[in-house]
């Protein structure tokens, strides 16, 4: 059946009849929605809406992450023929997942960007869907956290990252991918005592009380133990998971703005994400993919897998099995 479908399916992003099920469309052809999900602005019946946020005007080094959502979508075309490996259920068949397209915003009016993104995500949550976001630089996570915290209260955060992003910045009108977590804590969106940052390998004098499993510790104890420690920290609290692709070592994800050596391997990240199954995930994002700095596409491939794992984590506690 898959072979026959592959002969006839094309542009599933627009032509598929429903929001569930695999897609056997040729990987190298057709419109590249995320995992070949249907592009739609109609959230009726949608369980999860995937949004691209092509914004990179808050970076401290190399730009290019505005091209991340497009690259992640293209890379994801490798995956929708089969159920995500190792989960024991097919999130693509069990849940209605839509590609909600990209956020529309005025690129020349940067101060208005956070409120525009916040309103966008709030509309998804108010419609009863969950939100998974493809970035974009890491500053986009602050309005995403605000929208989720307004619905669920102060959040536990699991942050995969080379940097803590807790640099002090009391100018709350500034938009900066290195200070957004400082602001999220100070504004009450995040409870650092029941949050964890994984893969850290840069110094910051004030981590605001976050629990940290740095890269060296993860290499020492292994990804299974790191995930178990993270699950214990967040407990049964509502969780937002943000994955900065620079959590991975540059050998695995060179296409990012602030690469740091000594990071996680793709294998370690995959195991760690899988072992987080059971957390009360409310939403998440994958950010900082900068395609101009990766001629192989490996970074976008990794990010597409991360986003798929986020879908699986969200669905794990809601699946019918």
Q: Could you report the per-residue pLDDT of 221-237, keeping only the tens digit for each?
A: 999 999 999 999 999 99
Give, rounded to a whole angstrom, the gap between the first and last alpha carbons of the chain. 25
φ and ψ at 182, to 5 degrees?
Answer: -55, -50
Q: What is the mean pLDDT of residues 142-156?
A: 98
Q: What local confidence, expressed as pLDDT, does residue 7 receive?
A: 86
The rounded distance, in Å, linking the Cα atoms of 73 and 134 is 9
Q: Could you report the per-residue pLDDT of 250-290, keeping only the tens digit for each?
A: 999 999 999 999 999 999 999 999 999 999 999 999 999 99
Of the pLDDT bands very low, low, confident and very high (cuts 50, 70, 90), residue 176 is confident
For residue 249, say whether it is annotated as part of any ligand binding site.
no
The rounded distance, in Å, linking the Cα atoms of 72 and 54 is 11
Q: What is the mean pLDDT of residues 34-40?
A: 97
Quote helix, strand, coil % in the chain, to nearest 5.
Answer: 40, 15, 45
For residue 138, say whether it is annotated as part of any ligand binding site.
yes
Note if the bond before 136 is cis, omega within 30 degrees: yes
Q: What local confidence, expressed as pLDDT, does residue 4 receive?
A: 67
In this structure, how many other beta carbons lie within 10 angstroms of the beta carbon of residue 128? 11
Q: For residue 312, give the 3-state DSSP assignment.
A: helix
Q: What local confidence, expressed as pLDDT, does residue 2 receive?
A: 72
For residue 244, say whether it is annotated as part of any ligand binding site.
yes
For residue 161, say whether it is annotated as part of any ligand binding site.
yes
Of the pLDDT bands very low, low, confident and very high (cuts 50, 70, 90), residue 54 is very high
For residue 120, say whether it is annotated as part of any ligand binding site.
no
The rounded distance, in Å, linking the Cα atoms of 27 and 36 is 10
**pLDDT above 80: residue 5:** no
By DSSP bridging, strand 196-198 and strand 156-160 are parallel
Name the token pair of 288: 């900082």
Q: Is the pTM above the cut of 0.85?
A: yes
Structural domains of the chain ordered from first start = 2-316 (3.40.800.10)
Of the pLDDT bands very low, low, confident and very high (cuts 50, 70, 90), residue 6 is confident
Q: What is the mean pLDDT of residues 163-188?
A: 93
**pLDDT above 70: residue 175:** yes
Please list, residue by residue across 198-222, b when 16 or more beta carbons sit within 10 angstroms of its beta carbon and e when fewer do. Answer: bbbbbebeebbebbebbbebbbeee
Q: Could you report the per-residue pLDDT of 89-109, keeping only the tens digit for each?
A: 999 999 999 999 999 999 999
Name the token pair of 134: 């493809």
The candidate with the shortest Cα–Cα distance to 141, out of 73, 97, 195, 202, is 195
Q: Could you report the per-residue pLDDT of 183-218, keeping only the tens digit for each?
A: 999 999 999 999 999 999 999 988 999 999 999 999
For residue 11, say whether it is annotated as part of any ligand binding site.
no
Q: What local confidence, expressed as pLDDT, does residue 1 receive?
A: 56
């Amino acid at each position: 059946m898959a072979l026959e479908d592959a002969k006839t399916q094309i542009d599933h992003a627009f032509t598929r009849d429903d929001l569930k099920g695999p897609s056997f469309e040729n990987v190298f052809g057709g419109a590249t929605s995320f995992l070949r999900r249907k592009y739609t602005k109609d959230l009726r019946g949608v369980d999860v809406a995937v949004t691209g946020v092509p914004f990179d005007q808050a970076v401290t080094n190399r730009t290019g992450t505005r091209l991340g959502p497009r690259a992640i979508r293209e890379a994801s075309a490798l995956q929708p023929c089969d159920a995500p490996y190792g989960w024991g259920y097919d999130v693509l068949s069990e849940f209605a997942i839509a590609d909600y397209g990209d956020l529309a915003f005025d690129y020349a009016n940067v101060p208005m960007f956070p409120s525009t993104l916040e309103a966008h995500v709030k509309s998804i949550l108010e419609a009863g869907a969950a939100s998974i976001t493809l970035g974009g630089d890491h500053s986009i996570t602050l309005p995403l956290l605000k929208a989720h915290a307004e619905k669920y209260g102060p959040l536990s955060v699991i942050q995969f990252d080379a940097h803590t992003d807790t640099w002090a910045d009391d100018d709350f009108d500034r938009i900066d991918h290195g200070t957004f977590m400082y602001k999220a804590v100070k504004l009450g969106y995040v409870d650092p005592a029941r949050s964890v940052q994984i893969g850290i390998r840069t110094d910051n004098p004030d981590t605001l009380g976050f629990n940290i499993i740095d890269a060296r510790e993860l290499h020492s104890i292994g990804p299974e133990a790191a995930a178990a420690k993270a699950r214990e920290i967040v407990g049964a609290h509502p969780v937002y998971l943000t994955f900065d692709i620079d959590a991975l070592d540059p050998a695995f994800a060179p296409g990012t703005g602030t690469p740091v050596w000594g990071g996680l391997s793709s294998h370690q990240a995959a195991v760690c994400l899988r072992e987080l199954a059971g957390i009360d995930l409310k939403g998440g994002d994958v950010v900082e993919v900068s395609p101009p700095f990766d001629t192989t596409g490996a970074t976008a491939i990794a990010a597409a897998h991360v986003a798929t794992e986020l879908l699986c984590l969200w669905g794990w506690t809601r699946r019918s099995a």
